[in-house]
Amino acid sequence: MGLPVLSAIFRSRVVCQRSFVALLNCPKHMKASVSLFSRSAGRCSQTCQALVYRKHGEPSGVVELEDAPVHQTGAKEVLVKLLASPINPSDINMIQGTYSILPDLPAIGGNEGVAQVIEVGSQVKSLKAGDWVIPRDAGLGTWRTEAVLAEDDVISVPNDIPLLSAATLGVNPCTAIRMLSDFEDLKPGDSVIQNAANSGVGQAVIQIAAARGINTINVIRDRPDFTQLSDRLKAIGASHVIKEESLRRPEMKELFQTYSKPKLALNGVGGKSATELLRHLQVGGSMVTYGGMSKQPVTVPVSALIFKNVKVRGFWVTQWKKDHFHDGKAFRAMLDELCSLIQQGKLTAPACTEVRIQDYKKALDAAMQPFSSHKQILI
């Protein structure tokens, strides 16, 4: 599917963003006469608080906390209260204008989070008041306190799992489980090597792999708190943690006397780091790229292609969700598996810092810092 089609689908899903854009741009005297919020549940507010950006740029300079309209709940819509929403790299890229798909401006930030259903429209069948829901796809604008969303744009999750696990469920764990499931037939005792192991995806990979009996060799950049971070990753199931520089050293041969050569490499960095991951793959293995934090291209050695027949693939969870949007069973099954791991205590949220939405500037600044090991969560 080409990017123009992707963009069209993306924009067609963002019903509330379109309503927001239209209402925010209309004259003030017209806004007062528009019924923006259903009052049948005893609620009388016509606006919510939202983090809005009207142009692309650095988040700290273009994002503002504003009162945004909330339209009346339609027959096939639900009124939700947003409980928690993370700040992800893709959110930052959208605001900067560098992401593959972009909403119309002005826009509300945020693509992930968990909300509680407050009210359902007369024709809503799959949800009821009190349910917890997460977005099915990107672009709903989750950095706000309330929203009216189409029933089909959200999917329910158990409300007995930890709040932060629910808020961070829809992107990183989904990316991790798909990459561990869809590219190589991994069995207990097999190995996976990954860079960016301390990222949200990396931490989910570690835990899901551990639950399946799969070893993980986890690569992180050197830093002052390397030992503490390494210990934390091992505590959630990492088999082995190494520095980027170690990928080029003889000690890797010793490591593979303990662990089998990896069938799968997961690349969230690009550049030299990705090239070094490729060198350690077993013959016929796969490297899957899901991010490029170094902003450097992936260079594939000719020898890896000719003599090891490695496969070089890419993965984008947004595309997976679009491909399976009308196959509700696939998405439901994935979420059920992830939620079961959460309920068993085998999958926890990444290290998080909770920040009130009113303190968003602090959260945005923290999310932009290098070596950050905590995900910023707007409450």
Inter-CA distances, 238 with 50, 207, 230, 315, Å? 38, 8, 9, 22
User: What is the 3-class SS of 31-71, one letter each residue?
Assistant: HCCCCCCCCCCCCCCCEEEEEEECCCCCHHHHEEEEEEECC
3-state secondary structure the chain: CCHHHHHHHHHHHCHHHHHHHHHHHCCHHHHCCCCCCCCCCCCCCCEEEEEEECCCCCHHHHEEEEEEECCCCCCCEEEEEEEEEECCHHHHHHHHCCCCCCCCCCEECCCCCEEEEEEECCCCCCCCCCCEEEECCCCCCCCECEEEEEHHHEEEECCCCCHHHHHCCCCHHHHHHHHHHHCCCCCCCCEEEECCCCCHHHHHHHHHHHHCCCEEEEEECCCCCHHHHHHHHHHCCCCEEEEHHHHHCCHHHHHHHHCCCCCEEEECCEHHHHHHHHHCCCCCCEEEECCCCCCECCCCCHHHHHCCCCEEEECCHHHHHHHCCCCHHHHHHHHHHHHHHHHCCCCCCCCEEEECHHHHHHHHHHHCCCCCCCEEEEC
Is 99 marked active-site?
Answer: yes
Catalytic residue among 53, 99, 290, 360: 99
Query: Which residues have a catalytic role annotated?
Result: 99
